[in-house]
Structure 1
Amino acid sequence: MIVRFVIALMFAASAPAFAADAPPITSNRFAATLVPAERFDIGAMQVERHGKGKRALILIPGLASGSWAWQGTARRFMGEYSVYIVTLPGFDGRAPAPGKQMEAAQRALAQLIDTRKLVKPVLVGHSLGGVLAFSLAAQRPQDIGGVISIDGLPVFPGAEDLTPRQREQMAQQLARRMVPGDQRAFAAQQQDYMRGIGVMDMARADELAKLSARSDPGAVLQYMAETFAMDLRPALSKISAPVLLIAPYFDADASTHELTEETKKAYYASLIEAAPTAQVVTVAPARHFAMIDQPEQVNEAIARFLKNL
C-alpha cells in the first residue's frame, strides 16, 4: 500500500508540464531574508553562516532548494549555534558541478567540515539533503555529532525491494519523463510538484515554485536519477551519531491509500532500523516541506534532539 502511494505521487508530480501560465522566475516573500554573518563558496557550493555558537549545525536543502528553505530554522537556532546553510551545486541559481552531482555535494560538505575545523557538527537535511547527511555520517562517523533528516530516506520509498539494476532503470525512466522543453516548462513542473507534494497551501506552493524554478533543470534531473539509484541502508550501521528522522503526514494525501500516521511512522522506522541509535517522529498536518508547513513542530523536534546529544 505504501509503495503504491509513494510511486503514484512521484510519477504524478513528474509528468511533463507545459502550462501556458507557468509562474515567472522571480524573488518573493519566501526568499532568503536573513543577512548572514558570512557568505563564501566551497567549490560550486555556497555557504551562509549565521550565529557563532560553539556547536555547528549544517542545514542542507533538498532538491531544487536554496537557503530560503531554512530561514525559520536558522532564526530559531542561530542564537545558540553556528548555523551553516549550504546551497548545493545546480540549485537556486548555482552552476552544477562537473561529474556526478551527489559525489560533488558530499565532497563539498566534507571540505566545509575540514576547512572550518567543525567539531562534531549536526547535519540537518531535507529530502535529498537528508540522503547526503546519511551518506556523509556513514562515511565519516567519527566527525559527525548527529543526523536529522526531514523526509529524506536512505533508499527512495517504494524502491526498497528493487534490485540495483531495477532502481537504475526506474531512475532513467523518471528522468526521461521529466525532461523539460525549456525553462518555462521546468517552472511549470515545479509548480505542479509544489502543489502536489510540496506544501499544503496552494498560494504558498506557487510562491515556493518560483524559487525552486531558479535551479538548473539538468542538474535537478541528475540529482534525482543518482538519488533514486542509491540504497544506503547497508551503510547505516556505520553511523555512530544519533539519528532523528522527521516524517511529515498529511491525511488528505494518505487516507485514500489507507496509510495512517502510525503506519507511515513504522514504515520509515523500518528503513533506518540498521542505524544503531535512531528515532522517528511525525509532524502533522504537513507535506514534504514540513519545516515550512509546520515550522514550530519541526523546530521543537530538532530542539529536543539537540538537547539530548
Structure 2
Amino acid sequence: MDKSSFRKTFRLLGLALALFAGATALAHEAATSTVGTLHVERHGDHGRAVILIPGLQGGPWVWRQTIAQLQRDHVVYALTLAGFDGMPAPADGGNLFDRANASLLQLIEQQRIDKPVLVGHSLGGTLALRFAGEHAPLISGVVAVDGLPIFPGMERMGAEQREAMAARMQQQLAAATPAQFQAQALGYMQSIGVIDPQLAAHYAPMNARSDIKASAQYMAEDLAFDGRPGLKHANVPILEISPYHAPDFSQPPMIMSEAQKTAYYQSLLAGAPNAKVVSISPSRHFVMLDQPAKFQQVIDSFLKSL
C-alpha cells in the first residue's frame, strides 16, 4: 500500500470510529419510546424542547452532531418515521405522511411537550411546515432544512398532474430489488446528498436500511403534497435552510445563482407570515453533514431569537 492509499484508508477508519463512538454514546444516553408510527429518542433533561424530524430514509444518525450540541441546553426528541432506518413499516396501510403528522401531534400532547421547535430535514421539513399550518399554537417555531411546502418544480402543476407523476414514481421505486435500492442510495448520496464522496459512501448504507415499499410511498406522498394553502395559518417564526453547491447549478437546465435559489425558496414560502430563507454553501441536501459548524450556528441563532 502506497503512502497516499494508507493516508486515505487511515482517514476513513478514523471517520468511521469517530462516528460510531458518537452514535453509540448518544444511543446509550437516549430514552426511547414509540408514539403512533414514530420511534422517539429523548436526549437532554432541561431547556426548550426541540423535535428533530429526518427526511426520506433518515434516522437519528442524520442529526448525530446536532443532538450532541443541542442536548446540553435543550430536551431533544429525535424521531424515526415508520419504515425508515430499520423501523418496520405500518402493517395496516394508510397514508404514511398523514399518520406521521397525527403521531407528531400525539407525541406533543401525550408527553406534554411545551411549545417545541420543530427541525425537519427534507420530507421532515415538509412535515414540520404542514404541522405549523395546522397546529401553530402548539409550537414555537420551525426550521426546515431543504424541505418545502411543495416539492420544487411541482409548484406549477395541478393536483392531478402531481398525483399521476407520484404514482408513476412510486411504482418504479417500489419495484427495486435490495441490491438496486442500495445502489440507488449510493448514487443519490454521491450526486445530491453530500459533496464529499467519503461521506456519501459512509452514509448511503444507512439510507438503504429503510423499507423499499415504505420509502416509495413516502416519496409519492411528498411529491403529491401541496402545503402552501396552510402556510397562512403558520404564524410562528419559520427558517428555511437552502443548501447551495455552485457546480450543481452551473449547467443547463439547472443554471441558478445562490441568490436566485434563495429567492426561489422564499417564493414557495410566500404564504407564511414570518418565513425567512438562509443559504448555506458549499453544501448539498444533507447540509448538517456537509457543513456541521455553519449548520449548528444557524440553528443556535434561530433558537436564541425565539
What is the TM-score when the length of structure 1 is the normalising length?
A: 0.89
Matched residue SS, 1:178: helix
Aligned partners of 1:287, 1:258: CA distance in 2, in Å?
A: 15
1:59-70 → structure 2 map (5 Å cutoff): 59-70=52-63
Matched residue SS, 1:96: coil
Query: Match for residue 259 of structure 1?
Result: 256
Amino acid at match of 1:258: I
Matched residue SS, 2:195: coil
- 2:183 corresponds, among 188, 191, 198, to 188
State whether structure 2 residue 161 is matched by structure 1 residue 161.
Answer: no
Aligned partners of 1:277, 1:249: CA distance in 2, in Å?
A: 23
| Cα deviation 1:225-262 (Å, max 9, x = unaligned) | 00100110110010121000000000111122321100
| Cα deviation 1:49-107 (Å, max 9, x = unaligned) | 11112310000000001110001111111111000000110000111123111011111
State whether structure 2 residue 248 is matched by structure 1 residue 248.
Answer: no
Amino acid at match of 2:105: A
What is the TM-score when the length of structure 2 is the normalising length?
A: 0.89
| Cα deviation 1:190-245 (Å, max 9, x = unaligned) | 11111110000112111111001000000000000001001101100101210000
Tell me if the contact between 2:119 and 2:128 (Cα under 8 Å) persists in the aligned partners: yes
Question: Which structure is higher in helix share?
Answer: 2
Amino acid at match of 2:168: Q
State whether structure 2 residue 280 is matched by structure 1 residue 287.
Answer: no
Tell me if the contact between 1:101 and 1:222 (Cα under 8 Å) persists in the aligned partners: yes
Tell me if the contact between 1:180 and 1:186 (Cα under 8 Å) persists in the aligned partners: no
Amino acid at match of 2:181: F
| Cα deviation 1:87-128 (Å, max 9, x = unaligned) | 110000111123111011111111110111011100000000
State whether structure 2 residue 79 is matched by structure 1 residue 86.
Answer: yes
Aligned length: 282
Aligned partners of 1:117, 1:123: CA distance in 2, in Å?
A: 15
1:117-156 → structure 2 map (5 Å cutoff): 117-156=112-151
Aligned partners of 1:246, 1:151: CA distance in 2, in Å?
A: 6
- Structure 2: give runs of 5+ residues left out of the alignment: 1-15
Matched residue SS, 2:235: coil
Amino acid at match of 2:48: R
Query: Match for residue 271 of structure 1?
Result: 268
Amino acid at match of 2:139: I
Identity across the alignment (%)? 44
Offset at residue 300 of structure 1 (A): 0.6
Tell me if the contact between 1:36 and 1:48 (Cα under 8 Å) persists in the aligned partners: no
Query: Match for residue 7 of structure 2?
Result: none
State whether structure 2 residue 39 is matched by structure 1 residue 54.
Answer: no
- Structure 1: give runs of 5+ residues left out of the alignment: 1-27
Matched residue SS, 1:166: helix
Aligned partners of 2:172, 2:30: CA distance in 1, in Å?
A: 41
Tell me if the contact between 1:64 and 1:212 (Cα under 8 Å) persists in the aligned partners: yes
Query: RMSD over aligned Cα, in angstroms?
Result: 1.2
Aligned partners of 1:266, 1:165: CA distance in 2, in Å?
A: 27
Query: Match for residue 98 of structure 2?
Result: 103
Aligned partners of 2:80, 2:33: CA distance in 1, in Å?
A: 11
Query: Match for residue 11 of structure 1?
Result: none
Q: Looking at CA atoms only, which structure, 1 or 2, has the larger radius of gyration? A: 2
Matched residue SS, 2:29: coil
Tell me if the contact between 2:244 and 2:258 (Cα under 8 Å) persists in the aligned partners: yes
Tell me if the contact between 1:139 and 1:238 (Cα under 8 Å) persists in the aligned partners: yes
